[in-house]
Structure 1
């Protein structure tokens, strides 16, 4: 167990906080509920952002930027939307400060009150659809496929680094379409983009599904979700894509002329993922020795450590290795800090989740080989220098696949089918994980189960198997199982 890191088994919550801080990913800021993302943590987010941005552009989307502030009247135009976000909004009421008359400090100038309050964006549907009204006139302007990378504010009272903070970073896509079918196809497509990213880059298996009416995004007709399972048996919503119908188009009067010269409202989607993906990455793969990162998202894929310390011969060999690895597109660092011993360096890089560590000493140079250690299994192997790059390339691929398969096996081991409420409660208490159970389809039953057990319906899986059954809570008829879990 890494020094200063709590045990996952004994205190999962503290273990998570310790990993975030000890691996130098983030820390609490002077502003309550907000975080400072440190360079190493931001490096992970930058890799996520770069890959997602590439995937968005490959599917025809372009980036833009919209204001941080939203007039209060905009938010009130879509009733479900304002109800969903009203309790989380930060509001700007004044635009100027001045020195207090008592000379003790500054105060808000009462004469500088805004004519209309501004909302610090919790999400951008309203400001964007007000803009789209001027951009969309004809079917020739559609589809409009836009994404923005931004920060948002949702005033959370109970926060946790990366998972839930008052301000966080994210991307939000907002698209406009000429037909309902095209908008639904877009929402489903972006859900699959998120699922592909989660599984192929984060090495995190996810369930693809739709949210119940109670759990949908405020103002959406359908919300498509991907749900991951963390190592404490709780679910985490990793990304959502929303079919908004014509709700926002009608609220902001966004119409277009069809090819038949008929005026119609456009159809809309929105979709987003945030820095909570960094939290998901930590909780899916890490262990009591620290962070474990999938190579595709690791800021540093390989670290070279001189043993016992640097010297000109080892430095030259390390430089040659780095040149070759970098030429192969592998990020690598040489830890030539003379103030730290090799054992300390090993523990430090293990704590930070570097996928591959290479140790090199004078004896290794004489034998034209190095010691290669992988972070996921801790296995060590002697590898010839002349085949090192090829070996490391394959090893990084093996680590990526192993992390996914290990997480998939964990999910399978923690997936349970139950037919009674007694089984449901027992599974939640003793095992956790995803629970497939029948539900009668009512919001009342969904809320009653949540209130009694703290478990929520995570999703109705796509292409869900239809089977006759009885709701575990009411005994009423049910035609399919849904996925329950306690969640972040």
Structure 2
């Protein structure tokens, strides 16, 4: 192990960047603004994918795949959509290269210009709705419940691994319905799916709400979201679900014949989460020693390290470990036995701590004689000696306890850093000295929202769902307010 990680209190941003690299999650690529997700990081993403995909299928969705390239004219069909993404689009203008006559490699062939430029997808609403026109004719074709796992490109000037990169991985659901009520129900259902995944799998508590007009998705009637708090008090949008109304159906002339034989435009939704969740996972739980992974998403849930003085002793320990490993795997627990001889046990302990492995077992000669094993849990960094009898069930219960404990810690952090304020002075003071979530009254106007953002760099993260009505006055304008909203500085 090289020098220690920067601490969160010294430099949270540097701590995050270094941890992503040192824990072998990802690294910057040769292509500016893009990342290489390394095997260990991708293993976590795969577990996220698997869990989410199962949840999508349980709610009736199926997977499909649509083109990476979108004709430029498609983006022009929905005015607010193109306005929202125009500045982030990568554009393909030519389809061929040729050797440079000066012998300096290759150049773009000027004779291979495309008749119509293609946009590398920033999101797929337009190409999918152009396809849905051919798939939907009757109410019998509805609802259409499709999800896509894909990569997208949004040209970013300031990038940070996982949180904001030019290319990233995600899923995007796109559904079509016969009525507005069905589409709204779908939008809310998928928000619940995301919230359940965040809390039960990622161990990250979230606030469910909907976005203001300024913050909603380009082309949507309403955007619902889940907002999570990171350890530095900043918010991170962890998932969004959009009620599209009939906007894209109108743009692409997607109509259906209802039971009475009348033609009407279909109602749409879209919803997505991305590799940004990896950033949330890191920043919500990890500490100055490295990653802290919730067991449900850890690629390795248990690592076993032997401590031995001779090859004969190693062989004896390995035989016992084989029994333990078999019993753990029967319970569906992922295990790694690290008997490599190129590093000492202390180095291995630090390495697996850095990688966030939830449970570490160490077995030496005395443990072998006593029928015990040392159990260390990553979240609390505590150790105890446990009998090897019934060890599999013990570890299973321990992993469940760690999962819940990590969630509880994150929930406590959020609760302790959520403040109700009634004046702009207090608002500014908390933002600058504490950070966190601020519940404050807002007059409902985009003008006030923009002024607060300009002056404080805090945005309205969401208008919480199911909150009690509370009349008040806006902290900025003094005008009447119908309820509090969640303000925070955010990633």
Q: Quick one: which of 437, 440, 449 aligns to 1:437?
A: 440
Q: Quick one: which of 318, 321, 334 aligns to 1:315?
A: 318
**Residue 52 of structure 1 corresponds to which residue in structure 2?**
52
**Residue 480 of structure 1 corresponds to which residue in structure 2?**
483
Cα deviation 1:182-219 (Å, max 9, x = unaligned): 00000000000000000000000000000000000000
**Residue 470 of structure 1 corresponds to which residue in structure 2?**
473
* Aligned counterparts of 1:224 and 1:321: Cα–Cα separation in 2: 46
Contact kept, 8 Å, 1:255 with 1:264, in 2: the verdict is yes
How far did residue 6 of structure 1 move? 0.5
* Aligned counterparts of 1:394 and 1:196: Cα–Cα separation in 2: 21
Q: Quick one: which of 457, 461, 464 aligns to 1:461?
A: 464
**Residue 283 of structure 1 corresponds to which residue in structure 2?**
283
Instruction: Give the secondary-structure state (helix, strand or coil) at the position aligned to 1:20.
Output: helix
* Aligned counterparts of 2:296 and 2:138: Cα–Cα separation in 1: 42
**Residue 67 of structure 1 corresponds to which residue in structure 2?**
67
**Residue 198 of structure 1 corresponds to which residue in structure 2?**
198
Contact kept, 8 Å, 1:467 with 1:480, in 2: the verdict is yes
Gaps of 5+ in 2: none
* Aligned counterparts of 2:13 and 2:414: Cα–Cα separation in 1: 20
**Residue 21 of structure 1 corresponds to which residue in structure 2?**
21
Instruction: Give the secondary-structure state (helix, strand or coil) at the position aligned to 1:353.
Output: coil
Aligned residue runs from structure 1 range 149-160, under 5 A? 149-160=149-160
* Aligned counterparts of 1:110 and 1:336: Cα–Cα separation in 2: 59
Contact kept, 8 Å, 1:4 with 1:18, in 2: the verdict is no
**Residue 135 of structure 1 corresponds to which residue in structure 2?**
135
Contact kept, 8 Å, 1:2 with 1:288, in 2: the verdict is no
How far did residue 432 of structure 1 move? 0.4
Instruction: Determine if the alignment matches structure 1 residue 333 to structure 2 residue 356.
Output: no
Instruction: Determine if the alignment matches structure 1 residue 396 to structure 2 residue 399.
Output: yes
Q: Quick one: which of 378, 384, 389 aligns to 1:386?
A: 389
How far did residue 362 of structure 1 move? 1.3
Gaps of 5+ in 1: none
Instruction: Give the secondary-structure state (helix, strand or coil) at the position aligned to 1:386.
Output: coil
Cα deviation 1:421-468 (Å, max 9, x = unaligned): 000000000110000000010000000000000000000000122111
How far did residue 2 of structure 1 move? 8.5
Instruction: Give the secondary-structure state (helix, strand or coil) at the position aligned to 2:390.
Output: helix
Q: Quick one: which of 338, 352, 355 aligns to 2:355?
A: 352
Cα deviation 1:99-145 (Å, max 9, x = unaligned): 01101110000000000000000000000000000000000000000
* Aligned counterparts of 1:455 and 1:369: Cα–Cα separation in 2: 53
Aligned residue runs from structure 1 range 70-469, under 5 A? 70-308=70-308, 311-469=314-472
* Aligned counterparts of 2:350 and 2:177: Cα–Cα separation in 1: 53
Cα deviation 1:164-197 (Å, max 9, x = unaligned): 0000000000000000000000000000000000
How far did residue 323 of structure 1 move? 1.0
Cα deviation 1:394-446 (Å, max 9, x = unaligned): 00000000000000000000000000000000000011000000001000000
How far did residue 308 of structure 1 move? 3.6
* Aligned counterparts of 1:356 and 1:478: Cα–Cα separation in 2: 49
Instruction: Give the secondary-structure state (helix, strand or coil) at the position aligned to 1:17.
Output: helix
How far did residue 94 of structure 1 move? 0.2
* Aligned counterparts of 2:213 and 2:134: Cα–Cα separation in 1: 32
Instruction: Give the secondary-structure state (helix, strand or coil) at the position aligned to 2:460.
Output: strand
* Aligned counterparts of 1:280 and 1:37: Cα–Cα separation in 2: 16
Instruction: Give the secondary-structure state (helix, strand or coil) at the position aligned to 2:57.
Output: helix
Aligned residue runs from structure 1 range 4-43, under 5 A? 4-43=4-43
* Aligned counterparts of 1:481 and 1:85: Cα–Cα separation in 2: 30
**Runs of 4 or more consecutive aligned structure 1 residues displaced over 3 Å after TM superposition:** 1-4
* Aligned counterparts of 2:18 and 2:348: Cα–Cα separation in 1: 19
* Aligned counterparts of 1:461 and 1:51: Cα–Cα separation in 2: 26
* Aligned counterparts of 2:436 and 2:360: Cα–Cα separation in 1: 33
Count, aligned residues: 488
Instruction: Give the secondary-structure state (helix, strand or coil) at the position aligned to 1:467.
Output: coil
How far did residue 4 of structure 1 move? 3.4
Contact kept, 8 Å, 1:305 with 1:359, in 2: the verdict is yes
* Aligned counterparts of 2:44 and 2:374: Cα–Cα separation in 1: 26
* Aligned counterparts of 2:337 and 2:438: Cα–Cα separation in 1: 46
* Aligned counterparts of 2:377 and 2:163: Cα–Cα separation in 1: 28
* Aligned counterparts of 2:308 and 2:97: Cα–Cα separation in 1: 59
Instruction: Give the secondary-structure state (helix, strand or coil) at the position aligned to 1:422.
Output: helix
* Aligned counterparts of 1:117 and 1:256: Cα–Cα separation in 2: 31
* Aligned counterparts of 2:331 and 2:384: Cα–Cα separation in 1: 21
How far did residue 319 of structure 1 move? 1.3
